[in-house]
Amino acid sequence: MNRILPVVLSGGSGSRLWPVSRPSHPKQFLKLHGEQTMLRTTLDRVAPLGDRLTVICAEAQRFLVAEQLRESGHAGRIVLEPLARNTAFPAALASLLAAEEVEDTVMLLIPADHHLPDARAFRDAARAAAGIASEGHIVTFGITPDSPHTGYGYIKRGAPLAGDAARVAAFREKPDKATAASFLAEGGHYWNAGIFAAPAALMIAEMERHAPAVMAAARAAHAGMEADLDFLRLPEQALLACPDLSIDYAVMEHTEFAAVLPVDFAWSDLGSWTSVWAVRDQDEAGNVTRGDVFLHDSESSYIHSEGPVVAVSGLRDVVVVATGDAVLVTDRHRTESVKELLGQLKAADRVEASEHKKIFRPWGSYEQLALGPRFQVKRIIVNPGGLLSLQSHRHRAEHWVVVAGEAEVTVDEDVRRLCENQSIYVPLGAKHRLHNPTPDPLVLIEVQSGDYLGEDDIIRYDDVYARN
């Protein structure tokens, strides 16, 4: 039995699922199907394949990933990417990490945000792929298509290998509808799932051959990798010259060792609201609803609310997604275009393009409730045991009112406990800290006043999370 090192790629932004998925809290941390986040479901799915997991993620999301890994109970390590560089770089880095293991280790590269409901069938396929890979192949999973989908790349089957596997004859770009239909009619074409299995040494050699600049960056990053709390931090300088390439462009379209393993289990990359609609349970009219939603005389639609009541009447094939600060309305057959719409928001420098009103921190979260001249109101939730940094502000004072739970508050030399309905004033310039010493969440309202209220007005003196 070949040793498998599962490597989960958790750096995507899920831009086509805006406004729910944003760079500050992307789709792998959302509960799009079921009661667990996409990342947590992926961790549970792949953990039985190896002794420990490796998760490669954006530095900004390191504490979200750490919490998911802690809750899952699986052993693993978290590698931080200081810059986003598509999938070729993490594939090269993962190969170097796998090469540190026993000699016959097969690296299994899997995205964190795919929907694969049959975990056992996936693991059976992964083990089969590892066996094929150990014979000298870089194996990609090919999903048996059930429709002429235009949102996926395709793989054309070549000469047969052992079992159901085959060499890759060609990779096809995302096709138009007619071309996709011709692929299905011809047969021997599969959706490219972006899941790979390869011997570490072979992937390193093929990276060296076809994408030497990527491999050079990965080697430099690997050599400069340093432990930081529970994370492995990569040097940013090593990634500056790294090309922004996918593993398909960098290696798979050029290597002579590419193989495809066809699988027929249910799979979706949940890359659009249409795909989310397709995997959720629909009512008798073909509608999927989530949140505070009312429908009348509407069909085949996806209606999602994370805040206000949303009422839809007399519509068909629409997507309506509402959060606390944004609303998306689009044709269900054109949800791929959300990415272009998001580009317009970014060009207009709209904060809604990248950040939610609710911001997650390693100790909990905060949400802006009101903002005006010289004041801001936030709801702060501190997780059980959560401890904010000891800090001060140059431009603002703060009032804290506890609405649920119990807080331990430090203001300069004064340390006290506050219970529900109690409050405290934090003067401008005072060193202060907030701690939840209880097993229950702490909820408080913070009222800020001052001439500047930006999040960068923080001077940290001590922080258990080692933030600057």
Other Cβ atoms closer than 10 A to 254: 14
Distance (Å, whole) CA 9 – CA 248: 15
Q: Fill in the amino acid letter for 349.
A: D
Distance of CA 387 to the CA centre of its chain: 25
Burial 40-61 (b: 16+ CB within 10 A, else e): bbbbebbbebbeebbbbbbbeb
Distance (Å, whole) CA 243 – CA 119: 34
Q: Is 197 helix (H, G, I), strand (E, B) or coil?
A: strand
Going through 149-233 in order, the beta strands assigned E by DSSP cover 154-160, 166-172, 189-199, 226-228, 231-233
Q: Is 76 helix (H, G, I), strand (E, B) or coil?
A: strand
**Can you give the pLDDT at residue 1?**
59
Distance (Å, whole) CA 382 – CA 269: 33
Angle between helices 119-133 and 38-46 (to 10 degrees): 60
Closest CA to 83 of 249, 194, 242: 242
Distance (Å, whole) CA 41 – CA 220: 32
Q: Assign residue 466 a region (left: φ > 0; alpha: ψ between -120 and 50; beta: otherwise).
A: left
Overall size of the chain counted in residues = 468
Position of tokens 């609609």? Answer: 277
Position of tokens 């699986």? Answer: 74
pLDDT digits (tens), the chain, 468 positions: 578 999 999 988 788 999 999 988 899 999 998 889 999 999 999 999 987 899 999 988 888 999 899 889 998 999 999 988 899 999 999 999 988 876 678 999 999 999 999 999 999 999 999 999 999 999 999 999 988 988 889 999 999 998 889 999 999 888 889 999 999 999 999 999 999 999 999 999 999 999 999 999 999 999 999 988 789 999 999 999 899 999 999 999 999 999 999 999 999 999 899 999 999 999 999 999 999 999 999 999 999 999 899 999 999 999 999 998 999 999 999 998 899 999 999 999 999 999 888 888 999 999 999 999 999 999 999 999 999 999 999 999 999 999 999 999 999 999 999 999 999 999 999 999 999 999 999 999 999 999 999 989 999 999 988 776
Q: Is 251 helix (H, G, I), strand (E, B) or coil?
A: helix
Q: Is 49 helix (H, G, I), strand (E, B) or coil?
A: helix
Hey, which residues does 449 pair with through a beta bridge? Answer: 375, 397
Taking a C-beta distance cutoff of 8 angstroms, is the pair 302, 295 a contact?
no
Burial 132-157 (b: 16+ CB within 10 A, else e): bbbeebbbbbbbebeebbebbbbbbb
Q: Is 135 helix (H, G, I), strand (E, B) or coil?
A: coil
Taking a C-beta distance cutoff of 8 angstroms, is the pair 76, 48 a contact?
no
**Can you give the pLDDT at residue 36?**
92
The burial class, CB within 10 Å (0-12 / 13-18 / 19+), for 446 is: middle
What are the structural domains, with CATH classification, of the chain? 4-263 (3.90.550.10), 287-347 (no CATH), 358-462 (2.60.120.10)
Q: Is 339 helix (H, G, I), strand (E, B) or coil?
A: helix
- Containing 434, the helix (H) or strand (E) segment is strand 432-435
Distance (Å, whole) CA 260 – CA 268: 18
Distance (Å, whole) CA 332 – CA 3: 43
Other Cβ atoms closer than 10 A to 378: 20
**Can you give the pLDDT at residue 388?**
95
Distance (Å, whole) CA 346 – CA 352: 9
Distance (Å, whole) CA 425 – CA 416: 12
**Can you give the pLDDT at residue 125?**
96
